[in-house]
Amino acid sequence: MLLDLRTIYFIVAVSCFVLGILQLAAYATGRFERWPLWWGLSNLLVGVGSFLVALRNLVPYSVSVDGGNIVTIAGYMLMFFAVRVFSGRALDQRTFWLAILLVSVPVVLIVSDPSAVSARLLYVSVICCLCDLAVAREAISIVQRERLYSAALLVGLYACTAAIFAVRSILAATGEIGGPDPFGGSAIHNWMAVSAVAFIMLRSMAMVLMAAERSRNQLTELAHHDPLTGALNRGGLAQHLPALGSQPVSLLIIDIDHFKQLNDRHGHAAGDDILRLFASVSRGIHALRRSACPSRW
């Protein structure tokens, strides 16, 4: 038996509350970057918005519908901000909050008529669809830039929810969903709301997987590279050599003459600068850029 839409909104609200609290608790441990803070706040806002919308006809319209949709839009846009922070390309916060304000104003001014349910569903669905597409695009750049293959899962999840919101927009535009009572029992609308619960959970899991994969990659990078010069260390070179297969290999061993005297005369800090400069020059040699494996033995 399919749950009614009001009950589904309550389930979405509870799910978002639990996820938001867990993500804020994870951020409070200090073991993560700032993205769990924004992702947690995003889930809390979506939870508050869904809860307010579920109270339609039980509390004043301006609180349940206007307030609920505005808070939901803010939470949804905050998801995009969280993913930008995760990718290291955060937006200016003042610009971001201004964008939320501008997008939220039409909810009150344009579709403030209590009977204009379809128009409101159309507007909110279009905004959520655009946010999902923006997140998917950001996740694609993470896959390309960091080779985080779990980010491809996030791309797929947000592409699916963008498609759901696109269909919801079309149905709202044609009057298939909405009407005077949004809780009137539309089976299509109910199934879309049920799918939202599953995708909320899956998207949060995908973000955790991305964080875990990034941590593993960073640990591997630290284990295989010299911290001073950034060149491969002994273990990193041993790891890369089997990948060369049966192709011809040349080994060039370079020693810096009188390096001990340089350290003794100018200090180890100057010696470190020389090593970093030498490694940088080696990586910049055109003939070695593509195939060489510079390492510090």
Tokens encoding 15: 């799910």
Is there a single domain that holds both residue 201 and residue 278?
A: no
**How far is Cα 134 from Cα 104, in angstroms, rounded to an integer?**
18
Is there a single domain that holds both residue 254 and residue 114?
A: no
Going by pLDDT thresholds of 50, 70 and 90, the confidence category of residue 40 is very high
Is there a single domain that holds both residue 29 and residue 64?
A: yes
Is there a single domain that holds both residue 112 and residue 219?
A: yes
- pLDDT score of 152: 94
CATH number of residue 194's parent domain: 1.20.1070
Is there a single domain that holds both residue 172 and residue 210?
A: yes
Yes or no: say if 220 and 236 are a contact pair by the CB < 8 Å rule. no
- Residue of 267 and 290 predicted with greater confidence: 267
Please state the domain count of the chain.
2
Is there a single domain that holds both residue 104 and residue 145?
A: yes
Q: What is the mean pLDDT of residues 101-114?
A: 71
Inside any domain, residue 295: no
pLDDT digits (tens, 9 = 90+) for 158-200: 999 999 999 888 888 887 776 555 555 567 767 777 787 788 8
- pLDDT score of 16: 92
Interacting residues of 152 by C-beta distance below 8 A, sequence separation 6+: 139, 143
- pLDDT score of 91: 73
* pTM beyond cutoff 0.75: yes
- pLDDT score of 1: 45
Mean confidence (pLDDT) of the chain: 84
Is there a single domain that holds both residue 125 and residue 258?
A: no
Of 169, 193, 223, which residue constitutes the final position of a domain?
Answer: 223
Helix (H) or strand (E) holding 247: none
Can you give the three-state secondary structure of 56-113, one letter per residue?
Answer: ECCECHHHHHHHHHHHHHHHHHHHHHHHHHHCCCCCCHHHHHHHHHHHHHHHHHCCCC
pLDDT digits (tens, 9 = 90+) for 208-263: 899 989 988 888 878 888 888 888 888 888 877 777 777 777 888 888 888 888 88
- pLDDT score of 178: 63
Ramachandran sector of residue 230 (left: φ over 0; alpha: ψ -120 to 50; beta: rest): left
Inside any domain, residue 275: yes
Give the phi and the psi of residue 245 in degrees, each rounded to 5: 65, -140
- pLDDT score of 151: 92
Inside any domain, residue 237: no
Is there a single domain that holds both residue 129 and residue 269?
A: no
Is there a single domain that holds both residue 49 and residue 155?
A: yes
One-character DSSP codes across 114-176 = TT-HHHHHHHHHHHHHHHHHHHHHHHHHHHHHH--THHHHHHHHHHHHHHHHHHHHHHHHTTS
**How far is Cα 89 from Cα 142, in angstroms, rounded to an integer?**
10
Is there a single domain that holds both residue 156 and residue 188?
A: yes
The C-alpha angle 50, 52, 53, rounded to 5 degrees, equals 65
Is there a single domain that holds both residue 208 and residue 260?
A: no
* Cross-strand partners of 232: 225, 295
The conformation of residue 287, written as its DSSP 8-state character, comes to G
Inside any domain, residue 297: no
Inside any domain, residue 98: yes
> Which range marks the domain in which residue 261 is found?
245-288
- pLDDT score of 162: 93
Inside any domain, residue 296: no
**How far is Cα 31 from Cα 180, in angstroms, rounded to an integer?**
49
Of 223, 255, 278, which residue constitutes the final position of a domain?
Answer: 223
Please count the other Cβ atoms lying within 10 Å of the Cβ belonging to residue 196: 22
Of 173, 192, 223, which residue constitutes the final position of a domain?
Answer: 223
Inside any domain, residue 231: no
Is there a single domain that holds both residue 34 and residue 123?
A: yes
